[in-house]
A and B are shown apart, each in its own frame.
Chain A
Amino acid sequence: MVEGVSKMGETTNSNLLQGVTGDWEVVVGMEIHAQVQSKAKLFSGASTEFGAEPNANVSLVDAAMPGMLPVINAYCVEQAVRTGLGLKAKINLRSIFDRKNYFYPDLPQGYQISQFKDPIVGEGEVIVDMPDGISFTVGIERLHLEQDAGKSIHDLHPSKSYVDLNRSGIALMEIVSKPDIRSSEQAAAYLRKVRAIVRYLGTCDGNMEQGSMRADVNVSVRRPGDPLGTRCEMKNINSMRFVQQAIDYEAMRQIEIIEAGGTIDQETRLFDSRNGETRTMRSKEEAHDYRYFPDPDLLPLEFDQAWVDEIAAGLPELPDDKKARFISDLGLSPYDASVLVSEKARAEFFEEVAAGRDAKLAANWVTGEFFGALNKSGLGIDETPISAGQLGALVDLISDDTISGKIAKQVFEIMFETSEDPAKIVEDKGLKQVTDTGAIEAAIDEIIAANPDKVAEYKEKPKMFGWFVGQVMKATQGKANPKAVNDILKAKLDG
């Protein structure tokens, strides 16, 4: 099985998976649960802060004590509308809250307040850029508001589960895609894009480790061109990597079953991150029948278009628009632009470095040396040892010819190590570029005088020029202005 999975990775060109009997197409749809960024919960005044003492952020409404009534948080509604606008989706001015009924110890009401038939946001679309530069569009089916459940902890006691309701009642946005995704890589890229959008909007922090964003993944396979196959759902996957693993494993599992003459049962499967496999979660007899009905405690959620327009007017620049602007106004390549806008924090860092400077040079330094160094040291952009202002100052030193690009790389390494300002490093280490042509000329004269054989060789082989440049750089500890060296050297050797 594992061999099968790794083999699949090599057929990425067409996205088709190879079975024993021919090619298969994997079809994926996703439900992303994104926790709304708000101070208080969706229907109560309890705090949403992460990491509180057990059951501290719980009101009697969240604990479903008898007689408690839900009252909706206006800001959570605004955040859902804002997200809907970011997904270029239809905003429904009237939506309905329903009860989704099931029993579990971390669901004290015995039902989750959700939206079933009439969600707050309807159809939209998300454009996803793949690393190879190709883009595709994923249709959004809907976005609805619902309550999160509490948390069950199963490993604190041999025979008991511990329940903490701090998360109970926090607002979630469930973002449902159409089955427009055709590979595990596309699925991860889509999730990444939605995360970028909600982070730009400030409607969800997108923190998958803390569970503020998680995905249910629906997978089916079919022969290219055939109607959709039977799907299986894997719930609550909390990392990009696991989403990919789950899809890769599940697609191969389904292909093997069908090729062996079997059929796929529609079911919910559990993804086990320890071995990368999926397994049956609930038997069919136990399959959930949620018996949705309109929540009698809540009237329809209604607002007017003017309010939606007001929210739309206050939207920040989103990744697609930012990318377009970086390309058209700053002259960046589409690749650099999409790398820079892929995360809000990256884009902000770049814009600060580029402000009032050569944007292309700034982009090269941010995407090249800077992202490379972060990557190598395993740091997130929020943990950067150097500020955007410092990197900008380094770019200035290159632009005004204080140091060469080559020396700048040395300076950058020291900055990254020590968090010192580039000007101080250049000063302390005496790295200032030698632009004084007299000094460069002297160095060149010395080299030419000391190497008559090489000069003779150069007349035959002009490629020897590089050797002379190297010697001059060596003699000046790399500080000579490369252009000046080239010009003077050429004049002296050819003259």
Chain B
Amino acid sequence: MSVDTETVRRIAHLARIAVKEEALEPMTGELNTILGWVEQLGEVNTDGVEPMTSVVDAKLRWRQDEVTDGNYPERVTGSAPDGDDGFFTVPKVVE
């Protein structure tokens, strides 16, 4: 598997990461090297092996349906760069 420059540009945009035009080409190369390295794993025969979902033998933890958290709007919005009247505020976004 490999990626081309166009794909890298697109993924960067989707992830909202600013990649300079001149950096696209080298980054494509780097990513392809990484993908090639990961691809070596394909040499291992995994027939009949369950996909591993955790490195430890654990089950998903469940919580009871009880209200145990919240009610601290000032903590939630405290570190936001801008806010008003308990709300976060952001530059206007309307689709």
What residues of chain A lie closer than 8 Å to B87, measured between beta carbons? 54-55, 153, 156, 162-164
B window 52-95: CB within 8 A of A: 53-54, 58-71, 73, 75-77, 82, 84-95
- Which of these, B65, B88, B93, contacts A40 with CB under 8 Å? B65
What residues of chain A lie closer than 8 Å to B1, measured between beta carbons? none
Interface range, B side: 35 or more
Q: Contact at A152–B58, with CB atoms within 8 Å? A: no
Q: Contact at A72–B54, with CB atoms within 8 Å? A: no
**For the complex, what is the distance from the CA of A337 to the CA of B9, rounded to whole Å?**
60
A57 at the interface (CB under 8 A from B): yes
B20 at the interface (CB under 8 A from A): no
* A side interface size, CB within 8 A: 53
Chain B min CB distance to A145 (Å): 13
**Known contacts A39-B65, A76-B65; A59 and B95 CB within 8 A of each other:** no
Q: Is the interface of A mostly helix, strand, loop or mixed?
A: loop
Closest to A160 in B: B89
What residues of chain B lie closer than 8 Å to A426, measured between beta carbons? none
A121 at the interface (CB under 8 A from B): no
What residues of chain B lie closer than 8 Å to A44, measured between beta carbons? 69-70
Q: Contact at A72–B62, with CB atoms within 8 Å? A: yes
What residues of chain B lie closer than 8 Å to A58, measured between beta carbons? 70, 73, 76
Chain B min CB distance to A16 (Å): 34
Closest to B62 in A: A74
What residues of chain B lie closer than 8 Å to A291, measured between beta carbons? 11, 14
**For the complex, what is the distance from the CA of A54 to the CA of B71, rounded to whole Å?**
10
Query: A40-B69, A54-B85 given. 6 additional CB < 8 A pairs?
Result: A40-B67, A54-B73, A55-B86, A58-B73, A161-B91, A291-B14
Give the 4 A-B CB pairs with smallest separation, nearest first: A45-B68, A75-B65, A46-B70, A45-B69
Some 27 contacts from A to B, beta carbons below 8 A apart, are: A40-B67, A53-B86, A54-B85, A57-B70, A58-B70, A59-B70, A60-B69, A61-B69, A71-B61, A72-B63, A74-B64, A105-B93, A153-B87, A159-B92, A160-B84, A161-B90, A161-B93, A163-B87, A164-B88, A270-B95, A281-B95, A289-B10, A291-B14, A294-B53, A299-B59, A301-B60, A302-B60
